[in-house]
Amino acid sequence: MPTIEQSAVDFMQAIGLLVRRTRNEAGSDELSMTESVVMSRLANDGPATTAALARAEGMKPQSMGTTIAALEELGFVKRTPHATDGRQMLIALTPKGVQVRKKTREAKQMWLSQAMAELDAQQRDTLVKATGIIKALASR
């Protein structure tokens, strides 16, 4: 029987494989993982400053600035002046960015739904139960 430490390593590797597979199946190769995470954060939390995004992702502001510049060049985000602090700019998704995110998310969900449909009923039931456990682990 594997140790807790080995089980943790195996679990992280399995989650990593699943994330990479869904990204591959969705054709989201054009965006880096950081770019995808930033777009997701903007979609879920709304406009933010570069500094706030950097803090949220545990990155240096300069590195986040590079990520934002790349997304801006693709037309996925735009900068607008902060309403109360003229020195800051808010980063927000553009309509094009919203569409790309929606298309990518739908492709991931479609692939995963099809893959789950190929499991037997017991495997699907186990996976559904594991989802709650994974959410609980992530919120600790």
Domain edges within the chain: 1-30+95-140, 31-93
The string of pLDDT tens digits covering residues 24-33 is 887 755 788 8
Tell if the pTM clears 0.85, that is, is over it: no
Neighbours of 70 (CB within 10 A): 16
The string of pLDDT tens digits covering residues 54-103 is 999 999 999 999 999 999 999 999 999 988 877 889 999 999 999 999 99
Per-residue HEC secondary structure of 27-82 comes to: CHHHCCHHHHHHHHHHHHHCCECHHHHHHHHCCCHHHHHHHHHHHHHCCCEEEEEC
Do you know the residue count of the chain? 140
CATH of the domain spanning 31-93: 1.10.10.10
